[in-house]
Structure 1
Amino acid sequence: MKKNALLMILLNLFVAAANAQSGNNQPYVTKNFTSSSLKELSVETSGGSISVTGGQASGFKVEMYVRPNNNWNNKQDLTKEEIEDRLEDYDILIGTEGSRVVATAKRKANIQWDNKKSVSIGFKVFTPRNVATYLKTSGGSIHIASLTGEQNFSTSGGSLKILDLNGAVHGKTSGGSIEVSQCSNEIELQTSGGSIKASELKGKIELKTSGGSIDLQSINGEVYAHTSGGSIKGDNIDGALDAGTSGGSVRLANVSGSLKANTSAGSIEVELAKLGKFVELHSSAGSVRVTMPLDKGVDLDLKGNRVSIPLKNFDGEAEKDRVRGKMNGGGIPVTLSASAGSVYVNQ
Structure 2
Amino acid sequence: MKMNRLLLIMLTLFALSGQAQQNNDKPYLTRKFPAEGITELAVETSGGSITVTGGGSSFEVAMYVKPNNNWNGKQELSSEEIEDRLKDFEIKIVAEGGRVVATARRKQEVKWDNKRNVSIGFVVTAPRNTATFLKTSGGSIQIASLTGEQNFATSGGSLKINDLKGKVQGKTSGGSIDASHCSDEIVLHTSGGSIKAETMKGKIELETSGGSITLHDLNGEIEAHTSGGSIKGDQIAGSLNTGTSGGSIRLAGVSGSLKASTSAGSIEAELTALGSYVNLASSAGSVRVTMPLDKGADLDLRGNRVSIPLKNFDGEAEKDRVRGKINGGGIPVTLTASSGSVYVNQ
TM-score (norm 2): 0.93
Q: Is the 8 A contact 1:258 1:277 kept in 2?
A: yes
Shift in Å at residue 70 of structure 1? 2.8
Paired with 2:322 and 2:201, the residues of 1 have a C-alpha distance of 36
Determine the structure 2 residue equivalent to 1:26.
26
Determine the structure 1 residue equivalent to 2:43.
43
Q: Tell me the amino acid that sits aligned with residue 161 of structure 2.
A: I
For 1:158-173, list aligned pairs within 5 A. Answer: 158-173=157-172
Paired with 2:73 and 2:154, the residues of 1 have a C-alpha distance of 26
Q: Is the 8 A contact 1:23 1:78 kept in 2?
A: no
Shift in Å at residue 97 of structure 1? 1.4
Do residues 137 (structure 1) and 104 (structure 2) align? no
Determine the structure 1 residue equivalent to 2:289.
290
Q: Tell me the amino acid that sits aligned with residue 213 of structure 1.
A: S
Q: Tell me the amino acid that sits aligned with residue 280 of structure 1.
A: N
Paired with 1:337 and 1:206, the residues of 2 have a C-alpha distance of 25
Please, what is the CA RMSD of the aligned residues? Answer: 1.0
Paired with 1:108 and 1:285, the residues of 2 have a C-alpha distance of 53
For 1:209-220, list aligned pairs within 5 A. Answer: 209-220=208-219
Do residues 189 (structure 1) and 188 (structure 2) align? yes
Q: Tell me the amino acid that sits aligned with residue 268 of structure 2.
A: E
Q: Tell me the amino acid that sits aligned with residue 197 of structure 2.
A: A
For 1:109-124, list aligned pairs within 5 A. Answer: 109-124=108-123
For 1:56-135, list aligned pairs within 5 A. Answer: 56=56, 58-135=57-134
Shift in Å at residue 25 of structure 1? 0.4
Q: Helix, strand or coil for the counterpart of 1:24?
A: helix
Q: Helix, strand or coil for the counterpart of 2:246?
A: coil
Shift in Å at residue 73 of structure 1? 3.6
Shift in Å at residue 79 of structure 1? 0.4
Q: Is the 8 A contact 1:302 1:343 kept in 2?
A: yes
Q: Is the 8 A contact 2:69 2:75 kept in 1?
A: no
TM-score (norm 1): 0.93
Q: Tell me the amino acid that sits aligned with residue 146 of structure 1.
A: S
For 1:332-343, list aligned pairs within 5 A. Answer: 332-343=331-342
Q: Tell me the amino acid that sits aligned with residue 133 of structure 1.
A: T
Q: Helix, strand or coil for the counterpart of 2:25?
A: coil
Q: Is the 8 A contact 1:191 1:209 kept in 2?
A: yes
Q: Helix, strand or coil for the counterpart of 1:23?
A: helix
Paired with 1:59 and 1:53, the residues of 2 have a C-alpha distance of 11
Q: Tell me the amino acid that sits aligned with residue 179 of structure 1.
A: D
Determine the structure 2 residue equivalent to 1:328.
327
Paired with 1:178 and 1:82, the residues of 2 have a C-alpha distance of 35
Q: Is the 8 A contact 1:47 1:119 kept in 2?
A: yes
Determine the structure 2 residue equivalent to 1:229.
228
Q: Helix, strand or coil for the counterpart of 1:193?
A: coil
Determine the structure 1 residue equivalent to 2:54.
54
Shift in Å at residue 35 of structure 1? 4.1
Hey, which bits of structure 1, 4+ residues long, moved more than 6 A?
none
Q: Is the 8 A contact 1:48 1:121 kept in 2?
A: yes
Shift in Å at residue 335 of structure 1? 0.2
Q: Is the 8 A contact 1:42 1:103 kept in 2?
A: yes
Q: Is the 8 A contact 1:23 1:67 kept in 2?
A: no
Percent of aligned pairs with the same amino acid: 74
Structure 2 gaps, min length 5: 1-21
Paired with 1:72 and 1:138, the residues of 2 have a C-alpha distance of 17
Classify 1:344/1:35 alpha carbon distance in 2 versus 1 (closer, same or farther; 3 Å): closer
Shift in Å at residue 24 of structure 1? 1.9
Determine the structure 2 residue equivalent to 1:17.
none
Paired with 1:324 and 1:160, the residues of 2 have a C-alpha distance of 45
Q: Helix, strand or coil for the counterpart of 1:329?
A: coil
Paired with 2:337 and 2:35, the residues of 1 have a C-alpha distance of 61
Between the two proteins, the alignment pairs up a number of residues equal to 326
Shift in Å at residue 117 of structure 1? 0.4
Q: Is the 8 A contact 1:256 1:272 kept in 2?
A: yes
Paired with 1:144 and 1:35, the residues of 2 have a C-alpha distance of 18
Choose between structure 1 and 2: higher helix proportion: 2
Shift in Å at residue 136 of structure 1? 0.2
Determine the structure 1 residue equivalent to 2:177.
178
Q: Tell me the amino acid that sits aligned with residue 327 of structure 1.
A: I
Deviation digits for residues 84-125 of structure 1 (CA, Å, limit 9, x no counterpart): 010000000000111000000000111111111000000000
Q: Tell me the amino acid that sits aligned with residue 261 of structure 2.
A: N
Paired with 1:342 and 1:214, the residues of 2 have a C-alpha distance of 25
Paired with 1:23 and 1:38, the residues of 2 have a C-alpha distance of 32
Q: Helix, strand or coil for the counterpart of 1:88?
A: helix
Q: Helix, strand or coil for the counterpart of 1:310?
A: coil
Q: Helix, strand or coil for the counterpart of 2:31?
A: strand
